[in-house]
Amino acid sequence: MAIVGVGICALIWGTTWYAITWQLGTVDPIVSCVWRFGLAAMILFAGCLVTGRSLVLNRTQHLAALGQGAFVFAVSYAFVYAAEGLVASAIVAVIFAALAFLNLILFRVAAGQKAAALSWLGAGLGVVGVVVLSGGEVVGAKMEPAAVLGIAFAVIAVCSSAVGNFFSWRGQMAGAPVIPSTAWAMAYGTGLLALYGLITGVSWSIDLSAGYLLSLLYLSLFGSVIAFVLYFTIARARGYALASYISALTPPIAMLVSVVFEDARFGWTALVGLVLVLAGQGLLIRAPKVV
State the alpha helices, DSSP H only, in the chain: 2-21, 29-51, 59-68, 76-84, 89-95, 99-111, 117-140, 145-173, 178-200, 210-220, 227-238, 240-244, 246-262, 268-286
Mean pLDDT of the chain: 84
Largest CA distance in the chain: 56
Is 65 in a helix, a strand, or coil? helix
pLDDT tens digits, 27-79: 999 999 999 999 999 999 999 999 999 999 999 999 999 999 999 999 999 99
Domain boundary assignment for the chain: 2-286
Interacting residues of 161 by C-beta distance below 8 A, sequence separation 6+ = 71, 72, 76, 96, 99, 244
Does residue 253 surpass a pLDDT of 90? Answer: no
pLDDT at residue 291, as a whole number: 45
Distance from C-alpha of 83 to C-alpha of 153, rounded to nearest angstrom: 5
pLDDT tens digits, 118-131: 777 877 787 787 77
Return the percentage of the chain with pLDDT > 90, whole number: 45
Q: Report the pLDDT averaged over residues 150-161.
A: 91
pLDDT tens digits, 82-94: 998 887 777 787 7
pLDDT tens digits, 220-247: 999 999 999 988 888 888 777 666 667 6
Does residue 290 surpass a pLDDT of 60? Answer: no
pLDDT at residue 2, as a whole number: 64
